[in-house]
Amino acid sequence: MDPLSDVLSMLTVSSTLSSRFEARGRWAFRYPRYASHIKLGCVLTGRLRMQIDGAAKPVQLETGDFYLLTNGQPFMACTDPPGPLQDGVQASRDHRGADGVMRFRGQGAEVDASLITMATGRFTLAGEASELLLRHLPPLIHLRANDPGARPLEGLLDLLGWETAELRPGASIARTNLAALVLVQALRVHLANAPQPEGWLGAMADARIGEALSRMHGDIAQPWTVERLAQSAGMSRTAFALRFKALTGSTPLDYLGGWRMTVARNALRHSDEAIARIAQRIGYQSETAFSAAFRRTVGESPGRFRTLARARQDTASTAAT
């Protein structure tokens, strides 16, 4: 399994293609800090500007463009030139129809016939690997319609436009799965086009270090050594170790150990797999050795971690009902 698929498979992704936005005239909406980890949007028709708090300049979005907002910061979306600034959340509540579409007539709408149409969604990521994915994403990922590798997004754009135009049978399932597909494809395009993604994402995009990561993720039970990983990357041991740490912030074996613990926590939290079997599957020769390593990393035994995780899940389920 490639590293990105491996990490995504470890996540609980709650995805929602939440709304369609249609507006005429000039407008400007400000949105507060948000709880979901990633916001998704695509421009079906028209053009607009978007700016995240703290960014040096706004981003121009045009028909066919996609964007991902990843760090929860407040942001503004507006026409060019903008209209009077309004609370985006309140405006959405006030102007959303029974079909889920927000229709807004801004300043000068009676003389400006141009229509801006967008589909938006959100992803809430939970699970052991969410921090690994999120910590190195830029605050805003802008995918232009003409970016190399963005062609698959063209078909998704048509689907998004069709699926959000009106409520249809099975809309909830269709929209959720479509949003998840857009997320994966958007991350692929970002990795392919970014000059040098930071951290773990940059390591994946690096041909040699990415090969070593794929080997590790493909078989974490292997007794990997720095020498073997360097050989798989076609590098000397020293050059490999230095470049790996420069890109990921960890030594190769520290990264491997950390990923093994991530897999272990996920299995303990979500399965009834025997602890001895988990230990074997992630590369430990005995349950005792695994338990000792787990306690050093997590601060408690695998058995206690599982018990407490199940208790928290039961409490959350009870509260939800």
Domain ranges of the chain: 3-196, 206-314
Q: What is the mean pLDDT of residues 212-228?
A: 94
Report the 10 Å Cβ neighbour count for 264.
25
Can you give the pLDDT at residue 16? 61
Element of type H or E holding 42: strand 38-45
Confidence of residue 15 (pLDDT cuts 50, 70, 90): low
According to the CATH classification, is domain 3-196 in 2.60.120.280? yes
Q: Which pLDDT value is given to residue 184?
A: 78
Q: How confident is the model at residue 54 (pLDDT cuts 50, 70, 90)?
A: confident
Residue type, position 211, single letter: E
Q: What is the CATH number of domain 206-314?
A: 1.10.10.60
Q: Given this model, what pLDDT does residue 109 score?
A: 83
Q: What is the pLDDT of residue 152?
A: 74
Task: Name the pLDDT band for 13 (thresholds 50, 70, 90).
Answer: low
For residue 183, give the amino acid letter.
L
pLDDT at 86: 96
Percent with pLDDT over 70 in the chain: 83
pTM higher than the cut 0.75 = no
The predicted pLDDT at position 176 comes to 64
Burial class (CB in 10 A: 0-12, 13-18, 19+), 253: middle
Q: Rounded distance, CA 288 to CA 286, Å?
A: 5
Contact 76, 68 (CB under 8 A): no
Residue 10 pLDDT > 80, yes or no? no
The least confident of 82-96, 146-160, 269-283 is 146-160
Cα 211 to Cα 195: distance, rounded to the nearest angstrom? 19
C-alpha span between 321 and 227 (Å, rounded): 53
Name which of 130-134, 138-142, 287-291 the model is least confident about.
130-134
Instruction: Answer whether 3-196 and 206-314 agree in fold.
Output: no
Looking at residue 279, its pLDDT comes to 97
**Using the 8-state DSSP alphabet, how is residue 26 labeled?**
B
**Sequence-ordered alpha helix ranges (H) in the chain:** 3-9, 88-95, 130-134, 151-165, 171-193, 199-205, 207-218, 226-233, 237-248, 252-270, 275-281, 287-298, 302-320
Residue % of the chain over a pLDDT of 90: 47
How many C-beta neighbours within 10 Å does residue 54 have? 10
Q: Which of 216, 196, 215 has its CA nearest to residue 206?
A: 196
| Strand 47-52 to 140-143 pairing | unpaired
182 pLDDT more than 90: no
* pLDDT tens by residue, 265-318: 989 988 999 999 999 999 999 999 999 999 999 999 999 999 998 888 777 667
Q: Is pLDDT above 70 for 68?
A: yes
Q: How far apart are CA 191 and CA 204, in angstroms?
A: 8
In which band, very low, low, confident or very high, does the pLDDT at 18 lie, cut at 50, 70 and 90?
Answer: low
